[in-house]
Amino acid sequence: MWQPASERLQHLQTMLKTKLNVLTLRKDPLPTVIFHEPEAIELCSTTPHTKNRMHTGYKVTYLGKVTISGTHFLSGCTESAVVGLWDTKRTSVVHDDSITSSNAILEIRPFQVRLHHLDGRGEATVAMDTFQVARIAYCTADHDISPNVFAWIYRQINDDLTFQMDCHAVECESKLEAKKLAHSMMEAFKKTFHSMRSDGRIHKSGSSDEFPEELSTPDDG
């Protein structure tokens, strides 16, 4: 049965909307619609080139972590922990030539810090550690062992709801980058603190469920 061009166009548009809805639900790449004539609508694939997602942040060598004691942290409080991590890492490199530098990317955001552990080629993320900014008690880029080391103390919550203070350390590619990380961490802390205070999650006394009362403002070096 012959149909006018306008009715055929309306029918094709209805079919197109249905297909687009299905494609959207399946999260497939949306097609490009090319109009040639009122009677003809063609769907063309627009599959993008797949590339490894590059994370924003600084390339670092993760030295590891160590549990430390105390809840009040002053200048130099991370020095002994960093020295131990530094020596352990250097010993591992000597005994294993396959260990390369810059094995991670440290990404600092408001509310969250992400440590992306990279593969042997330093390209793809094989694992990721996340740190809530509200639980970071201290950070510094001032270490005698190396000016390129950046460290932070994190309040780790265990499964039994107890907590421990872990000192994490990374080696940056330069002293300047270590200082930049310390500055970025301080800015992230400020934004997180102001946001939580405006949301009412921090009381006027400065305490909250996530910010311990003894929390120290991160040091930028």
What pTM does this model have?
0.65
Model pLDDT for residues 43-94, shown as the tens digit of each residue: 333 333 334 445 578 999 999 999 999 888 999 999 999 999 999 988 876 6
Q: Is 176 helix (H, G, I), strand (E, B) or coil?
A: helix
- Calculate mean pLDDT across residues 38-42: 37
Specify the pairing of strand 32-37 against strand 40-44.
Answer: antiparallel
Residues 85, 63: contact at Cβ < 8 Å?
Answer: yes
CA angle 128, 179, 60 (to 5 degrees): 30
Residues 105, 59: contact at Cβ < 8 Å?
Answer: yes
Q: Can you give the pLDDT at residue 5?
A: 60
Cα-to-chain-centroid distance, residue 118 = 13
Q: Can you give the pLDDT at residue 220?
A: 43
Model pLDDT for residues 148-186, shown as the tens digit of each residue: 999 999 999 988 889 999 999 999 999 999 999 999 999
